[in-house]
Structure 1
Amino acid sequence: MTTTPAVVRTPARTPRVRAIAAPSALRIGRARAVLEVRQFFRNKGAMFFTFSMPLVMFLLLASIFDETDKATGVSTQQVYVTGMLAMGVMSTCLQSLALQVGGERHNGTLKRLRATPMPPAAYFLGKIAMVVVTSLVQAAILLGLGAAFFGLELPADPGRWFTFVWVYLLGATACTLIGLVASNLVKGENGGPVVLLPVMVLQFISGVFVIFSQLPKGVQIVSAVFPLKWMCQGMRSVFLPDAYASVEPAGGWEHGRTAMVLAAWVVVGAIMCLKWFRWKGEDEG
């Protein structure tokens, strides 16, 4: 009698399941940035208002006031270009952002986004990318218009462009943070004037619509507290000749003080944003 050898069965191997790592906040932020930029350029009304407002104001002022300072050789049209550059940054990064975020809070978009696994940092990265892209496009249009028709000379010195970069970055960062906090003031569809009025007042007292050296001394002191005055002065130091520095109230460009004030507003804006930014409206608890 023959015996059948025993068959040894090996246990079946369980296939390994690879854990899928959750995407990082930076990766989600990049995707959010692309979405925000696309949404902006698809919104024809917002795009038209954002780009046309500084251009229309500049063309009006440049056509009405056409004088040249004999001591410096700088025309008022060239000065207005630099003021509109700073105005464009504030209008986009503060005014437009506050209205947009306030609208998203009012219609419940912020509340729904906060309930998703998306890190809050990704939302802010998306908004920052949107305002950076739009404000840079706006600046390029203004500089092209000023250089082509109003005698603005684009600097050949890399140092001046470096000044433009840090003035722009500090100013845009400060305005963006303040804009996020100011969005709390936008309640419903009629909350725009709460943001628009202070921004318009700052434009008049900071050297955008009126040559800063022609403003009363008391107004100059008040405007020096806020970032727009220093953004305008920083832009003048980039695109106007050094001879114009003698027209400034302090007799110079004051780059150190400009950087200090703008950096202080970045810190203040960050603290206010961390403390007071809300994802839900007041009536939602």
Structure 2
Amino acid sequence: MNPTTTALRAGGQRGLIELRQSLTNGADLWDHAFWPVLMLVVTFFLRDVSFEGTGFSVGALALPGILGMNAAMAMVTMSQLLTADREDGTLLRAKATPNGMSGYLVGKLVSVAGGLVVDLSIFLVPGAFLVSGLVTGSVEAWLTVAWVLALGLLAALPLGAVLGSVFSSARAQGLLILPILAVIAISGVFYPVTALPVWVQWVAQVFPVYWLGLGMRSALLPDAAAAVEIGQSWRHLETVGVLTAWAVVGLVLAPAVLRRMARRESGSSVAERRERSLRRVG
């Protein structure tokens, strides 16, 4: 069997094992449940707030946007996990295995994507009962959710791997959170982006968070809800184009950046980072 195929298959199996472990560990289960439950509480309080007399509640408009936001946040999760594995020597061990970096990356993609699907299910299933006006009884709606989510993960996860290669410590990951929150704030997640200044709308459309939210709204809201969107349209072609562009950038950059980072890894660098971490704890 081709060594690369063997490594990729091993990576897939590793990802499934990591996913199963995260779903049977108390601390990880809390991590999976906390954010979806918090967003459910926010959606609950927005369910009866009407948006500018359109007949749609802010909660109905926000719920699909939150789904898209969570998919984009998988980028942060990927970055944090990669940085943590770099600190504890996991990446160094992967580097020592033939095609180990490819297998490692595939494993992380599988585990993070699987965990995200669990998180979205925890939010979406009860949310569909809390919020009225959603289109959840259509096969077409769920097919749209599936392709938007798949394309969004292709756009977000490789970028997360790139960011994880840039930050040398978990502590430095804090630098990533504020820019991500800023992008979320202008992406129309909790409120239609058309309520923001025009120049902010243009900035929001550069990033995948906005397009993930728009794609999810197109799947779960009736066509009449497009009236509050830019151009009064769901713009599926533009959604595919922007998310595909980000996916191509990430898939081109991620392997090269990971290989470069792996070449710089050594036992001494891992030991040095571990020593610095212990000094901070002490």
TM-score, normalised with respect to structure 2: 0.85
Are the aligned partners of 1:29 and 1:122 in contact in 2 as well (CA < 8 Å)? yes
| Percentage of matched positions with identical amino acids | 31
Structure 1 CA distance for aligned equivalents of residues 42 and 136 of structure 2: 25
Counterpart in the other structure of 2:11: 29
Instruction: State the Cα distance separating 1:152 from its structure 2 match.
Output: 5.0
Structure 1 CA distance for aligned equivalents of residues 200 and 95 of structure 2: 42
Selected match of 1:89 from 53, 71, 74: 71
Change (3 A) 1:210 1:54: farther
Structure 2 CA distance for aligned equivalents of residues 119 and 83 of structure 1: 36
Alignment RMSD:
2.5
Counterpart in the other structure of 2:96: 115
Question: 2:196 matched to 1:215?
Answer: yes
Change (3 A) 1:248 1:21: closer
Q: Mark the runs of 5 or more structure 2 residues left unpaired by the alignment.
A: 271-282
Q: Deviations over 1:137-166 (max 9, x none)?
A: 112122112112222534333222222111
Please list, as runs of the form range in 1=range in 2, the aligned pairs for 1:189-268 lying within 5 A after superposition. 189-268=170-249
Are the aligned partners of 1:58 and 1:84 in contact in 2 as well (CA < 8 Å)? no
Q: Deviations over 1:99-144 (max 9, x none)?
A: 0111111221101111023533221221111122111111212211
Structure 2 CA distance for aligned equivalents of residues 60 and 28 of structure 1: 40
Selected match of 1:56 from 3, 25, 38: 38
Structure 2 CA distance for aligned equivalents of residues 157 and 58 of structure 1: 23
Task: Pick which of 241-250 and 49-58 moved more.
Answer: 49-58
Structure 2 CA distance for aligned equivalents of residues 52 and 76 of structure 1: 22
TM-score, normalised with respect to structure 1: 0.84
> Radius of gyration: which is bigger?
1
Task: Pick which of 42-51 and 201-210 moved more.
Answer: 42-51
Structure 1 CA distance for aligned equivalents of residues 105 and 250 of structure 2: 14
Counterpart in the other structure of 1:67: 49
Counterpart in the other structure of 1:186: 167
Change (3 A) 1:47 1:194: farther
Counterpart in the other structure of 1:99: 80
Are the aligned partners of 1:212 and 1:220 in contact in 2 as well (CA < 8 Å)? yes
Are the aligned partners of 1:89 and 1:172 in contact in 2 as well (CA < 8 Å)? yes
Are the aligned partners of 2:158 and 2:254 in contact in 1 as well (CA < 8 Å)? yes
Task: Pick which of 147-156 and 209-218 moved more.
Answer: 147-156
Structure 2 CA distance for aligned equivalents of residues 147 and 51 of structure 1: 17
Q: Which amino acid aligns with 1:188?
A: S
Are the aligned partners of 1:78 and 1:146 in contact in 2 as well (CA < 8 Å)? no
Are the aligned partners of 1:87 and 1:208 in contact in 2 as well (CA < 8 Å)? yes
* Greater share of residues in helix: 2
Structure 2 CA distance for aligned equivalents of residues 167 and 145 of structure 1: 21
Counterpart in the other structure of 1:8: none
Are the aligned partners of 1:186 and 1:195 in contact in 2 as well (CA < 8 Å)? no
Instruction: State the Cα distance separating 1:26 from its structure 2 match.
Output: 3.6
Change (3 A) 1:252 1:196: same
Change (3 A) 1:201 1:51: farther
Counterpart in the other structure of 2:117: 136
Instruction: State the Cα distance separating 1:71 from its structure 2 match.
Output: 5.6
Instruction: State the Cα distance separating 1:21 from its structure 2 match.
Output: 9.1
Counterpart in the other structure of 2:58: 76
Q: Which amino acid aligns with 2:166?
A: L
Question: 2:23 matched to 1:41?
Answer: yes
The 3-state SS of whatever aligns with 2:230 is: coil
Structure 1 CA distance for aligned equivalents of residues 2 and 154 of structure 2: 31
Are the aligned partners of 1:86 and 1:235 in contact in 2 as well (CA < 8 Å)? yes
Structure 1 CA distance for aligned equivalents of residues 194 and 39 of structure 2: 20
Change (3 A) 1:164 1:54: same
